[in-house]
């Protein structure tokens, strides 16, 4: 059976290249790329300032190692599962929350994993858990600092926040820590000092005088291997907020999270990707095969860049708007988030449309001109779930001089199309292997390296 994206793409009319939207995003994006250190820093930038310095100083030489990419891939998987668990906790407000310190006079931005009640929650995955708070401070000072920096640029300045540590291999291995801030003023001074130092380092023609090494210093670092870094024999940068905070372990939160059912096996909620690859959902239930981790760090990093642009341009939806959208969606079992929508001001009226952010590492200029059938189908699924006939696709090409293409795509859905999607959801909810053949195939390009390929084709 033809894959669902191919079926839905047939209802798409010719995409319209939206020049105004493309131009607005590109102008903002170019400003960030060319003047980033003059505009603002990200919290991750100042949490590991030496790495940030080398990334900007030698962009053509800096490259994450294969080992680092593997860790990102494993970490992303565990992170997604735990983040879904946080959404089920009482008092959950939202996920992936942007805090813009510039509104408070601090040139710093960050994206926190979640906010529950008044507290910021942050998830980190590691090769192994810290045994206690002493080991947390020694081995993961950047994670402690990050959550404190979020609190600084959150207008509510929560005094107590939660840091969750899991492992790359098992999301049920958890350590939870409460970070209580005793002196936010000194944390602010630290942040401003870090920002000023980064700017000063980059203003120096040669290498600046630095007394510590990168917090992620490793033997296969590309900067080190090219003899561009003389600092790797220094001691690492210590946790500079430890005297302004208190840290306590919270075993009750660890147990609470372990008890929550993981969303990948939950019969009630699915992603659009699950709808596109429904047979995989069932095979995971019955086949004892280990899937390789997919490294999506490249795309995730650039998607967040586009999301930041939309936020700055007032095109992101609010938490209240997301709740209304969830209440009105046609298939409640499909998860959609704030980054699945774009808000456009059309005259005096604001309208919300489904959104798909596509990041491509393709270097072929012809890819700038066309929208693939897959993307038309994927966006169409979002439109069907919202009950509308129009959505927007933003395609970003970092390897092609950061080109941006924004498309407005209209659909003319046939009657009964939504019922096809509902049928897919019903089958994967009950994970009925006997109804496997009633499900559409996965997109062909996903099948080549699929671990279930042999079983599926047989």
pLDDT over 70, % of the chain:
91
Mean pLDDT of 342-362: 92
Q: What is the mean pLDDT of residues 429-456?
A: 86
pLDDT per position as a tens digit, 55-112: 888 877 776 655 566 566 656 767 778 888 898 889 988 888 888 898 899 999 998 9
Q: How many domains does the chain have?
A: 2
- The owner of tokens 């130092």 is 197
Supply the DSSP string of 100-135, one letter for each residue.
Answer: EGGGGT--EEEEEEEEETTEEEEEEEESS--SSHHH
Q: Are 211 and 227 contained in the same domain?
A: yes
Residues 6 or more apart whose Cβ sits within 8 Å of residue 213: 50, 231, 232, 233, 234, 235, 236, 237
What range does the domain containing 197 cover?
66-259
Residue by residue, DSSP assigns 8-49 as HHTTBPPPEE-HHHHHHHHHHHHHHHHHHHHH-EEHHHHHSH
C-alpha dihedral sign at 114, 115, 116, 122: positive
Q: Is 0.85 topped by the overall pTM?
A: no
Same domain for 240 and 385, yes or no, is no
Task: Give me the sign of the Cα torsion angle 125, 126, 127, 133.
Answer: negative
Average pLDDT on 206-227 reads 83
- The mean pLDDT of the chain is 87
pLDDT for the residue numbered 58: 81
Q: Are 105 and 139 contained in the same domain? A: yes
- The pLDDT of 301-317, averaged and rounded, is 87
SS3 249: strand
Which residue's structure tokens are 């008890």? 259
> Tokens 């659009």 belong to which residue?
272
Q: How does residue 424 score in pLDDT terms, banded at 50, 70 and 90?
A: very high
The pLDDT, as a whole number, for residue 408 is: 96
297 and 168 in a common domain: no
Pair (303, 221) in one structural domain: no
pLDDT in tens, 244-258: 999 999 999 999 998
Residue 347 has a pLDDT of: 83
Tokens of 384: 């069907």
What mean pLDDT comes out for the span 394-418?
Answer: 94
Checking if the pLDDT of 419 tops 80, the result is yes
CA distances from 454 to 207, 251, 283, 301, 380 (A): 55, 43, 12, 33, 30
Residues 180 and 321 in one domain: no
- 171 shares its domain with 116: yes
Cα(149)–Cα(189) distance, rounded to whole angstroms?
11
Do residue 244 and residue 328 come from a single domain?
Answer: no
Q: In this structure, is residue 43 part of a structural domain?
A: no
CATH code, 432: 3.90.320
Q: Which long-range contacts (CB under 8 A, 24 or more apart) does 222-227 make?
A: 222/61, 222/62, 222/63, 222/65, 223/54, 223/58, 223/61, 223/62, 226/61
With H, G, I as helix, E, B as strand and everything else as coil, classify residue 323: helix
What is the number of residues in the chain? Answer: 458
Q: Are residues 275 and 168 in the same domain?
A: no
List, for residues 370-389, the tens digit of each pLDDT value.
Answer: 899 999 999 999 999 999 99
Which of 138, 110, 107, 141 is CA-nearest to residue 124?
A: 141
Are residues 106 and 212 located together in one domain of the fold?
yes
């Amino acid at each position: 059976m033809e894959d669902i994206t191919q079926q839905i793409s047939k209802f798409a009319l010719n995409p319209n290249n939206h020049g105004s939207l493309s131009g607005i995003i590109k102008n903002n994006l170019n400003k960030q790329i060319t003047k980033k250190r003059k505009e603002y820093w990200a919290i991750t930038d100042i949490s590991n300032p030496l790495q940030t310095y080398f990334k900007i100083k030698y962009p053509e030489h800096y490259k994450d190692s294969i080992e680092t990419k593997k860790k990102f891939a494993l970490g992303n998987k565990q992170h997604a599962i735990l983040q879904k668990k946080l959404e089920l906790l009482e008092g959950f407000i939202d996920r992936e929350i942007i805090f813009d310190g510039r509104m408070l006079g601090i040139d710093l931005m960050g994206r926190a994993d979640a906010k529950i009640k008044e507290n910021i929650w942050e998830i980190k995955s590691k090769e192994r858990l810290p045994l206690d708070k002493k080991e947390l401070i020694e081995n993961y000072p950047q994670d402690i600092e990050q959550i404190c920096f979020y609190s600084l640029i959150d207008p509510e300045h929560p005094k107590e926040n939660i840091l969750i540590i899991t492992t790359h291999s098992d999301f049920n291995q958890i350590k939870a820590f409460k970070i209580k801030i005793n002196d936010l003023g000194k944390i602010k001074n630290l942040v401003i000092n870090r920002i000023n130092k980064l700017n000063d380092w980059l203003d120096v023609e040669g290498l600046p005088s630095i007394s510590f090494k990168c917090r992620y210093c490793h033997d296969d670092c590309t900067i080190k291997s090219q003899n561009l870094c003389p600092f790797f024999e220094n001691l690492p940068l210590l946790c500079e907020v430890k005297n302004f905070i208190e840290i306590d372990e919270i075993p009750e939160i660890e147990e609470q999270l372990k008890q929550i059912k993981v969303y990948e096996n939950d019969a009630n909620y699915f992603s659009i990707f699950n709808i596109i690859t429904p047979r995989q959902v069932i095979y995971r239930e019955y086949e004892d095969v280990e899937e390789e981790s997919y490294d999506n760090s490249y795309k995730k990093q650039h998607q967040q860049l586009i999301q930041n642009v939309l936020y700055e341009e007032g095109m992101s939806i609010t938490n209240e708007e997301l709740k209304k959208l969830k209440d009105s969606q046609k298939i409640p079992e499909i998860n959609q988030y704030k980054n699945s929508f774009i808000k456009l001001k059309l005259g005096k009226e604001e309208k919300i449309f489904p959104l798909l952010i596509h990041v491509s590492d393709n270097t072929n200029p012809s890819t700038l001109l066309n929208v693939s059938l897959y993307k038309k189908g994927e966006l169409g699924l979002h439109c069907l779930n919202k009950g509308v006939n129009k959505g927007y696709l933003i395609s970003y090409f970092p390897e092609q001089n950061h080109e941006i293409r924004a498309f407005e795509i209209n659909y003319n859905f046939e009657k009964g199309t939504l019922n096809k999607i509902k049928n897919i959801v019903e089958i994967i909810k009950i994970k009925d292997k006997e109804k496997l053949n009633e499900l559409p195939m996965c997109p062909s390009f996903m099948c080549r390296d699929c671990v279930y390929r042999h079983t599926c084709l047989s």
